[in-house]
Chains A and B, each alone.
Chain A
């Protein structure tokens, strides 16, 4: 692979991720609307929102760190997208791997946390405290699953993992070989997406949307963009680990959207957990499932 090709991939991969993410947001809102027997937003609504937010005339910054936080939140995901192999493009997946990716996607969260902290709003700080607590909750099963998958495939390299699954068709997919882990992973990804009942850190009625309390204009817009990336990343990691990655774009898209659709179909009928209950639930079921799955994989 020559350098120019690589650079093109690095530029294109985030763009694709963003586009897919936009539609995932739309799908999410549509699912919510359908469950609530509403029409729901029009096709380009996520785009309208983002454009409008960026186009705000006056915007409030609480200081440089506030700005940098948003830049890190968006930029970190842009970087992360280049480490996720998609059909036809591998980016720098060979140079990072599953483990590094899991830590790289903490960078945007940390950036966001910094930005929110600078806002000097206790609601935001509480939101971040809760978000970090939620991260502590869902990352525990998540790393167990990463361990299991990495042990099963004998590699940490996402390209290898994808190749391994694609070699034998559906029968060799992670989900077929490691069903317990796949279920645990779905659970943990659900918690990661932070929708009901796990939306402890947004909690609009309680802490006024937590981290987003002081975010307006392009700051909020940045977070919307980040959400698009986040949905794509979570889904793509899952697909890569358990659903054979992307053989070609149509199948890949189906898998990506399906994976997001499953938890979202459940989300909007739930109320919200309390923080400690998120810990209790996530540390119990997906962790137990994950450990059982790892045990099965290793024996």
Chain B
């Protein structure tokens, strides 16, 4: 698992130019194009790599000409930039943040620490491989990578998105059990985020063979319910029942 190619990427996009409605294909292409040209990024600055982002954004390299701009909350963002070593405690927040982002969403690991722990390899409190816990779309290795490398990585990602190759976010839904398992190993079996990934997978028809498994079963045992508060009229009391306690 030392090369990017080995990160399991399962594509379910129909090959372009294949069967189906031509208009729909054009539409999909257009969407993919727009997605690739408009990337809002959330930089989760966990370590020293964050220092390389300002030069990438400002006048020297100017990400905005590529349609990339920083955003503040996970809801608004497309890219999650993890810029350095990830401690166990931080990882919980990263997972929470990732799950709160709207798909399609992309994770970029910057610096060697996200790839293999880097200089914190021996630390008991550092998560070594980010892609054990989250589907990483792109690693930008280096300690630290220069802004050119960051820009290069982002351009690669844009290409991938345009080609429809970068959709690891689906993988998170389809193999949720796998990711959850790794997370549980690290955080204990009580681990739960407020986001209902399984529910989302069902809602958007993103279920895969490994969405559910032993780990999700474990989750369900410990989970506090996250059913959203649906608007209820609760007007069953017509006519008023006399015996009902108020």
Contacts and interface: CB of A to CB of B under 8 A. Distances in A.
Given A48-B38, A52-B34, A217-B102, A212 B231 contact: no
B63 to A, nearest CB: 9
Interface string B57-69: 0110010110100
B35 interface: yes
Interface string B33-76: 11101100000000000000000001100101101000111111
Interface string A64-95: 10000000000000000000000000000000
Interface string B71-88: 111111010000000000
A16 interface: no
A51 interface: yes
B30 interface: yes
Interface string B87-115: 00000000000001111100000000000
A215 B67 CA distance: 19
B62 A59 contact: no
A123 to B, nearest CB: 8
Which one of B38, B67, B100, B231 has the highest number of Cβ atoms from chain A below 10 Å of its Cβ?
A: B38
Given A38-B64, A45-B38, A48-B38, A55 B76 contact: no
A214 B31 CA distance: 23
B124 interface: no
Contact of B204 (A29, A41, A58): A58
Which one of B62, B73, B228 has the highest number of Cβ atoms from chain A below 10 Å of its Cβ?
A: B73
Contact of A56 (B74, B104, B228, B229): B104
Interface residues of B, number: 30
Given A48-B38, A49-B38, A204-B72, A216 B67 contact: no
Contact of A216 (B64, B101, B228, B229): B101
Contact of A37 (B35, B59, B72, B204): B59
A106 B5 CA distance: 53
Contacts, number: 94
Nearest to A123: B73
Given A36-B58, A41-B64, A41-B65, A57 B204 contact: yes
B103 A58 contact: yes
A56 B76 contact: no
B65 A39 contact: yes
A63 interface: yes
Given A38-B58, A38-B59, A58-B200, A214 B64 contact: no
29 contacts: A36-B59, A37-B59, A39-B62, A39-B64, A39-B65, A40-B62, A45-B64, A47-B34, A48-B34, A49-B67, A51-B30, A51-B31, A52-B31, A52-B37, A52-B78, A55-B31, A55-B34, A56-B102, A58-B200, A58-B204, A60-B100, A60-B102, A63-B231, A208-B72, A209-B73, A212-B73, A214-B73, A215-B76, A219-B75
Given A209-B72, A216-B74, 12 more contacts: A39-B64, A51-B30, A55-B31, A56-B102, A56-B103, A57-B204, A64-B231, A204-B72, A209-B71, A209-B73, A216-B75, A216-B102
Interface of B: 30-31, 33-35, 37-38, 58-59, 62, 64-65, 67, 71-76, 78, 100-104, 200, 204, 228-229, 231
